[in-house]
Amino acid sequence: MEVISFSDNRLSGDLPNGLCNDLPILKELNLSRNKLDGHMPTSLSNCSQLQILSLSENEFDGPIHSEIGRLSNLQKLYIGYNHFTGEIPKEIRNLVELEVFDVEFNSFSGSLPMEIFNISRLRIIGLSGNNLSGTLPPNIGSTLPNIEQLYMGRLTNLVGTIPHSISNCSKLTNLELSQNKLSGLIPNSLGYLTHLNFLNLWGNNLTSDSFLSFLTSLTNCTRLTTLSLSSNPLNAMLPVSVRNFSKSLVKFYASDCNIRGKIPNEVGNLSSLLDLQLSDNNLIGSIPTSIHNLRNLQGMFFAYNKLTGFIGDHICKLQHLGYIYLGQNQLSGSLPNCLGNITSLRQIHMGSNKLSSNIPTSLGNLKDLVVLDLSSNNMVDSLPTEIGNLKAVTGMDLSMNQFSNRIPRQIEGLQNLAHLSLRHNKLQGSIPDSMSNMVGLEFLDISHNNIS
């Protein structure tokens, strides 16, 4: 027997201690995605021919013993998503044939296993989600010449800077360093990683120069699809060089970065974008008209800024838009009538602006809308009867406006509505009897109106 693969089942219990005594030439053992538990037996080291060991996504616990260093032929080690504890043994350095080392989301503790960074054959390293401390090795570019994917997010105490030598990891496609304590400048040398596909630096204390020149350097990465910079104190303006980003860029996250100034018109060049997140910044000016070029956009997240001007009809050309977050800005004017033509919309968040129109009757076309928030504006007139067509909506906040006249009886059509706030308006008349049919309702606030 050379290969055993029982992955994706419901096997339980622990590993037989004498497994390798009966299988001397076993080369692959794959037990991933089961319900196995207990410790990893030291006798596994007797599988001297083992090349692939996959125990990921089980319930294993306890330490990894030093005997693992005897598996000198091991090429791929997958033990992520378990409950392993203790330090990663230094004997791991003996696994000189190792190409994949994946121990993500366990409870390993202690210092980063620097021995790992000296195994030159490694293509994939997964250390995310452990209680490990330390810094990225300054010579990482020379010790890991073959590295393609490096996952080191959500470590307990990863500090220091991103070393410039990482630019020598010329094969790198995925770099995950999110939710750590990294500081210092984001190096411009990241632009030399021309195979880079995924870069996640979210949730650190990383900075940049006043020109965000590292963004300009990343335009050299023509295969980049995901760029996440959110929750870093970048303190700068978005450069016009964003127009040169890869046409393959589909996700750009830069929320909570203290980005100031205007959203450059050049953002309209990113024609493949699915998600554009710029919330929680200090952006000013209007939403650029060039945004209508982002025909694939599914999520527009501009909330908690200082944007002004109108929400123009150009937004209606985004026929794949599912999420609009424009709340907590200073947008004025009316809601575009054509908004009801974007039938893909799932959530509309436009609360806390200066909108002053009525609710367009066309919004009744949004049969799949789940959340509608127009609170804290200056919106007027009656609630349209078409509001009863929003059959899928679960949350609706129209509070703190100037809506008048009666609550339309058609509101009974909102069978899935759980949260409804109409407080602080000028609504009058009686509560419609039909509201008794809204069986999903959990929260109702009609205070501060003229209801009788």
Residue 434 has pLDDT above 90, yes or no: no
Residue 267 has pLDDT above 90, yes or no: yes
DSSP track, 102-117? E--SSEEEEE--GGGG
At 225, list the tokens.
């699809």
What's the mean pLDDT in 300-306? 98
What's the mean pLDDT in 296-322? 96
Which residue did the predictor score with more confidence, 51 or 413? 51
Nearest-angstrom CA–CA distance, 258 and 237 = 9
What's the mean pLDDT in 257-268? 95
Q: How confident is the model at residue 17 (pLDDT cuts 50, 70, 90)?
A: confident
| pLDDT tens, residue by residue, 132-191 | 999 999 999 999 999 999 999 999 999 999 999 999 999 999 999 999 999 999 999 999
pTM for the model: 0.93
- Three-class DSSP category at 315: helix
At 278, list the tokens.
């710029």
Torsion sign, CA atoms 72, 77, 83, 89: positive
The answer to whether 420 touches 443, Cβ cutoff 8 Å, is yes
Q: How confident is the model at residue 29 (pLDDT cuts 50, 70, 90)?
A: very high
Model pLDDT, residue 441: 94
What's the mean pLDDT in 39-58? 93
Residue 21 has pLDDT above 90, yes or no: no
Nearest-angstrom CA–CA distance, 333 and 213 = 36
Model pLDDT, residue 437: 87
Residue 306 has pLDDT above 90, yes or no: yes
Percent of the chain with pLDDT over 70: 100
Residue 388 has pLDDT above 80, yes or no: yes
Model pLDDT, residue 98: 97
Residue 83 has pLDDT above 90, yes or no: yes
Computed over every residue of the chain, the mean pLDDT equals 95
Q: Give residues with Cβ within 8 angstroms of 425, minimum separation 6.
A: 398, 399, 400, 401, 402, 403, 404, 448, 449
Burial of 201 (0-12, 13-18, 19+ CB in 10 A): buried
Q: How confident is the model at residue 256 (pLDDT cuts 50, 70, 90)?
A: very high
Model pLDDT, residue 16: 86
DSSP element (H, E) containing 140: helix 140-143
Residues in the chain: 452
Place of tokens 């000189």: 96
Percent of the chain with pLDDT over 90: 92
| pLDDT tens, residue by residue, 189-225 | 999 999 999 999 999 999 999 899 999 999 999 999 9
DSSP track, 393-444? --EEE--SSEEEEPPPGGGGG-TT--EEE--SSEEEEPPPGGGGG-TT--EE
Residue 112 has pLDDT above 80, yes or no: yes
DSSP 8-state code for residue 154? S
- Show the domains of the chain with their CATH numbers: 1-149 (3.80.10.10), 308-452 (3.80.10.10)
